[in-house]
């Protein structure tokens, strides 16, 4: 018999050791307290899963109801963006709930979460210090989209940049001016926004007449003309009002006309009012002292 064979035989368990191992296995398999403990752990895991499913369903319904109410909002919320935000929130909620459930289940089976959470905290802290501006941009962009501060197609002013919103991302916002420039603004730098497309705007037109003009007749004629203009212009919300004499100088006087119109359509409506006023005053030979001015 070789040395290796002798060593192998020596390392084999004895009959007494085998019997002892079998007894330990039997004691483990037929240990009622152990099975009770594992059964209780399984029940708690099932309860956690059910609670997580209920919470996820309720949260999804709340998001759906919130998005539906935003669609009915008179301030207008784009349907495609509503769908995108709803899915985004749904995914975030599902990931969050699943992560919490995973941590709770691992805790139930005796897994030590301390080192894992500590490592995640260190990694998150390092990322936070290294990308503070990026995180700020993303968070700000998220709230811009969620709160519907402005939408694609709105005319806004952010700082010195004024124009039509072309794109709203989680990191940057693109604005195109009417002269063709495109402003790319990091969301984290957006401190104050003026939105010209949410509420109706007001067109203000000043018509300058000669000092010796018949003011009463001019006002009457302009009021009748504005009634007709209201029927022709879809962008006019209410019939333009001829307020009367705004200013009076030594050689002329100014009549002011205002009109409530659709958002950001005041320039178009002002031009229409000027054209109608000029045509009406010329028809009835009422002298216009100077070229009309718009505001």
**pLDDT 10s digit of each residue in the chain, 295 long?**
455 555 555 555 566 666 666 666 666 666 667 667 777 888 888 888 888 888 888 887 877 777 666 555 544 455 555 655 666 667 677 778 888 888 888 777 777 766 666 666 666 665 665 567 777 887 888 888 777 788 888 889 998 899 988 888 778 888 999 888 999 999 888 888 998 888 889 999 999 998 888 889 999 999 999 999 998 888 899 899 999 899 888 888 899 999 999 988 888 999 999 999 999 998 888 888 754 444 4
Best CA proximity match to 257, nearest among 235, 237, 268, 273: 273
Decide if 173 is inside a domain: yes
pTM (2 d.p.): 0.53
Decide if 141 is inside a domain: no
Query: What's the first-to-final CA gap in the chain, in angstroms?
Result: 113
| 170 and 211 fall within a common domain | no
Long-range contact pairs involving 238-241 (C-beta distance under 8 Å, separation at least 24)? 240/203, 240/273
Give the SS3 label for residue 112.
Answer: coil
Decide if 140 is inside a domain: no
Please identify, among 130, 155, 171, the residue that sits at the C-terminal boundary of a domain.
Answer: 130
Residue 185 forms beta bridges with which residues?
173
In sequence order, which residues have a C-beta less than 8 Å from that of residue 224 and are 6 or more positions away?
A: 280
| 18 and 61 fall within a common domain | no
Domain extent at residue 210: 201-294
Asked whether 233 and 272 are in contact (CB, 8 A), the reply is: yes
Asked whether 188 and 132 are in contact (CB, 8 A), the reply is: no
Long-range contact pairs involving 76-80 (C-beta distance under 8 Å, separation at least 24)? 76/151, 76/198, 77/148, 77/151, 78/151, 78/152
| 45 and 117 fall within a common domain | yes
Output the pLDDT for position 75.
44
| CA 158 remoteness from chain centre | 16
| 47 and 23 fall within a common domain | no
Best CA proximity match to 60, nearest among 98, 97, 100, 89: 89
| 124 and 42 fall within a common domain | yes
Map tokens 């200013």 to a residue.
247
| CA 250 remoteness from chain centre | 54
| 183 and 238 fall within a common domain | no
The domain total for the chain is 4
Please identify, among 195, 216, 233, the residue that sits at the C-terminal boundary of a domain.
Answer: 195
Decide if 142 is inside a domain: no
The backbone torsions φ and ψ at residue 224, rounded to the nearest 5 degrees and listed phi first, read -65, -40
């Amino acid at each position: 018999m070789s040395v290796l064979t002798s060593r192998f035989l020596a390392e084999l368990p004895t009959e007494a050791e085998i019997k002892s191992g079998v007894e330990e296995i039997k004691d483990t398999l037929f240990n009622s307290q152990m099975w009770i403990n594992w059964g209780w752990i399984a029940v708690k895991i099932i309860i956690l899963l059910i609670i997580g499913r209920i919470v996820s369903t309720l949260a999804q319904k709340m998001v759906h109801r919130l998005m539906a109410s935003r669609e009915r909002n008179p301030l207008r919320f784009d349907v495609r963006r509503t769908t995108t935000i709803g899915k985004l929130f749904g995914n975030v909620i599902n990931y969050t709930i699943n992560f919490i459930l995973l941590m709770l289940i691992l805790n139930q089976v005796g897994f030590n979460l301390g080192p894992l959470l500590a490592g995640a905290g260190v990694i998150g802290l390092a990322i936070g210090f290294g990308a503070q501006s990026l995180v700020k941009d993303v968070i700000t962009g998220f709230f811009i989209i969620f709160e519907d501060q402005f939408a694609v197609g709105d005319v806004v002013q952010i700082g010195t940049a004024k124009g039509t919103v072309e794109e709203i991302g989680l990191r940057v916002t693109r604005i195109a001016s009417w002269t063709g420039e495109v402003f790319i603004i990091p969301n984290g730098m957006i401190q104050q926004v003026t939105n010209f497309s949410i509420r109706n705007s007001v067109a203000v037109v000043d018509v300058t007449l000669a000092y010796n003009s018949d003011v009463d007749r001019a006002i009457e004629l302009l009021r009748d003309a504005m009634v007709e203009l209201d029927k022709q212009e879809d962008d006019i919300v209410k019939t333009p009002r001829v307020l009367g004499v705004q200013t009076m100088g030594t050689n002329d006087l100014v009549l002011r006309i205002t009109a409530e119109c659709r958002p950001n359509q005041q320039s178009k409506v002002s031009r229409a009012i000027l054209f109608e006023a000029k045509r009406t005053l010329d028809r009835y030979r009422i002298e216009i002292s100077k070229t009309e001015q718009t505001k």
